[in-house]
Amino acid sequence: GASARALGLKDRGVLRAGHAADITIFDPVTIAETATYEDPHSFAAGIDRVIVNGITVLRDGEHTGALAGRTLRRQIDFATGQSA
């Protein structure tokens, strides 16, 4: 919730009916970064599933092809702390 509040996102940051939710399910024992300068888009190891807006977009480390999200633009002016 704190990250969403800091970004001024009122309908995100908690698992609650009526709120948008992105969920990442991972194994803390096996999670490891795999991206390199040569392959910056490589998925991290140990991530089992990613759910965006209720749609599975990553399953067993493989992208499902679903495009369930959208780019969120900043809704707060960090210099003033006020809504943009």
Instruction: Write the CB contacts of 76 (distance below 8 Å, at least 6 apart in sequence).
Output: 6, 7, 8, 82, 83, 84
Asked whether the beta carbons of 69 and 53 are under 8 A apart, the reply is yes
Is the model's pTM score more than 0.85? no
Q: List phi, psi (to 5°) of 58.
A: -135, 125
**In this predicted model, what pLDDT tens digit does every residue of 34-61 receive, in sequence order?**
889 999 988 889 999 999 888 999 998 8
**In this predicted model, what pLDDT tens digit does every residue of 2-11 receive, in sequence order?**
777 777 777 7
